[in-house]
Amino acid sequence: MRKLSIFLFIVFAIVACSSAPRPKTVDGSSREPVNKTVIKEQIGSK
């Protein structure tokens, strides 16, 4: 049960991070979404 809850929390965090940068990219600030995608890749590699 703990592993399932942790997995769901990670998926929720990834979805929240992936949905948040989209309005920022419309504003033209592309640095923050790039940094978040790099963090996602680092978390995924672990």
pLDDT in tens, 2-43: 899 999 998 888 777 666 655 555 555 545 555 566 666 666
Domain locations in the chain?
2-45
- Tokens standing for residue 38: 């790099």
Q: What is the pLDDT of residue 38?
A: 61
DSSP 28: T
Q: How far apart are CA 44 and CA 38, in angstroms?
A: 10
Residue identified by tokens 């998926």 is: 11
Give this prediction's pTM: 0.37
CB count in 10 Å sphere of residue 20: 12
